[in-house]
Chains A and B, each alone.
Chain A
Amino acid sequence: MSEKIVYERPKSWVKDVHTHYCPGCTHGIVHRIICETIDELGIQEITTGIAPVGCAAMMYNYIDIDYIEAPHGRAPAVATGFKRVRPDRLIFTYQGDGDLASIGAAEIVHAANRSENITVIFINNAIYGMTGGQMAPTTLIGQKTTTTKDGRDPQKAGYPMRMCEMLKTLEGPAYIERVSAAKPAHLPSLKRAIKKAFQNQIDNKGFSLVEVLSTCPTNWGMSPLKSCDWVVESMIPYYPLGLFKDFE
């Protein structure tokens, strides 16, 4: 029979590389979708990525574009500097929950407030992955981590932070949406949102942020499939999916 290709590795996925991510880690899904977006929009040669500090610190090994490494949390400031000097190029940050919501809290708020014409992809897996499973600002109440061994207690450690809800109160941002990488049914929205966040930058619409509820099977102590279920059962009720801000 004559066949057509429905799905293959994206062109901008680095050839012959094995990722260092844990089995089932949703970083791979988001990276792959970023590559698909870059291929579909034809922007490989004009896009620069900013690598965070976290499990995705070496994401430049997987996505074949220019890259700048940023100190922990500072990616929105690095992106701002880059974009102000080269507005004719595209830039995106890719940040975990520690990077964006903890050490980088000031930088993300101000980049959003200035409506910097950048794309931010926020990977929220409610834990610090790379450093071995400590509490994140987005860790849920009662969730056990290596620094909240009895479960997160708001009296001691404060409450989980809803970044989309906070940033939407600012006038600056053009587009804020929360999606998930956990279940097959979530993936079309994830792709649509990431593509929109890049298209917005091409169209000079201003600050775009996509929060992606993600898994961390290793530090949650669950299988990949169970982790995906946990996102649905425990994370989505606290971090509802949806559109928070849209310039359109």
Chain B
Amino acid sequence: MGRVLMKGTEAIAEAAIQAGCKHFFGYPITPQNEIPEYMSKRLFEVGGVYLQAESEVAASNMILGGGSTGEPVMTSSSSPGVSLMAEAISYMAGQETPVVIVNVMRAGPGLGGILPAQGDYSQATGGMAHGDFKLIVLAPSTVQESVDMMQKAFNLAQKYRNPVVMICDGVIGQIMEAVEIPEGNPENLSNPVDWACGYMKERGKRTILHSLILDPEELESHNKHLEAKWKRIKEKETDCETYKTEDAEVVISAFGTVARIARSVVDKLRAEGFKVGLIRPLLVSPFPEKEFEGLISTCKHILDVEMNWGQMKKDVESAVKYRIPVSFFGHTGGICPTVSEIEREVRKIFTELG
């Protein structure tokens, strides 16, 4: 395909198709309407299925059904619509259905606004719904990264039979950037004959995909199985970028578009001699505790910057074992923090540190 100029949402859609996803079930909601629109045309060109569900409740249940076949399926939405998916997500986590959900985050709470935000971090990393389970959550910060992460999302979903969420702030959804979308998915990790519905003959016996387990010991055993799976995911699948943190006295922690803005702040202040760095989780769940722990010996202060009330802040504090003070700067309402605003906060910290 080469390098093309594409809108984030459309690039995500094309990347999903290239990653092997031929089935999309979704519902329009700003700021990600281009995903269903793109899918409604492009999927039929590749022999796939686009279905506009009657609601996000229905869409999330359609991927439950579609995912139970073992084929890669996805849906996309934005914050209020993702809340509607909570019920199905808990069922899919319990039944171990591999699906991908893209959340192009907008400002909240409630109907909120349509401008970008990062207010669904806690929702996504907290599992989003009732019961004990975790979701794998990817947080790209550029359109190219979203494209690369789509392939990763489907692979992780299939590898672990777990729902995977990609949270993009609305900026990534709506900007246009030059991207290269890898054609085809070299890794196909699904083994539907082992567990999926529709393979009774091949498997020699039936499968029951369920989360209802009335016997308490059996249900605890199932919970322990899910916990063990999460432990394996934590050990193998963290991903974090550190930028100029080796000798940094102040480190900015951020994810998504904010991290991109923060990087400019690091470059600007480094040019003036300030020892500042950036730490950026690419997967916010599982959280990259090791990389944060690595800051303990050198870093004197972390400034956590997000487009919310400070949802990642507590994970940062916990990951550095409360041995580095963490302060927060951010905006809600759909407002992006600017380079100068973040720069001002960092300068204040350096002044206080003396």
Which A residues contact B (CB, under 8 angstroms)?
44-46, 48, 50-51, 57-58, 60, 64-71, 74, 77-86, 89, 91, 106-107, 109-110, 114
Contact = CB atoms under 8 A, between A and B. Distances in A.
Contact of B61 (A46, A60, A74): A74
B268 interface: no
B128 interface: no
B197 A67 contact: yes
Contacts of A86: 69, 71, 198
Interface in B45-68: 49, 51, 53-55, 57-59, 61-68
Contacts of A80: 25, 51, 58, 62, 65
Contacts of A70: 61, 64-65, 91
A89 B198 contact: yes
Given A45-B201, A106-B58, A81 B64 contact: yes
A85 B209 contact: no
A91 B115 CA distance: 41
B66 A81 contact: yes
Interface residues of B, number: 37
Interface SS of A by simple majority: helix
Nearest to A64: B206
A243 to B, nearest CB: 27
A208 to B, nearest CB: 17
A81 B66 CA distance: 4
Interface in B34-89: 49, 51, 53-55, 57-59, 61-69, 71, 73, 87-88
A44 B208 CA distance: 14
Contacts of A77: 53, 57-59, 61-62, 64-65
A234 B207 CA distance: 40
B212 A107 contact: no
B208 A60 contact: yes
Given A74-B87, A84-B62, 12 more contacts: A50-B65, A66-B197, A66-B198, A66-B208, A68-B65, A68-B197, A70-B65, A74-B88, A78-B68, A81-B68, A83-B65, A109-B54
A74 B201 CA distance: 27
B263 interface: no
A85 B51 CA distance: 11
B206 A81 contact: no
9 contacts: A45-B200, A46-B201, A70-B64, A74-B88, A78-B68, A81-B23, A82-B66, A85-B71, A106-B57
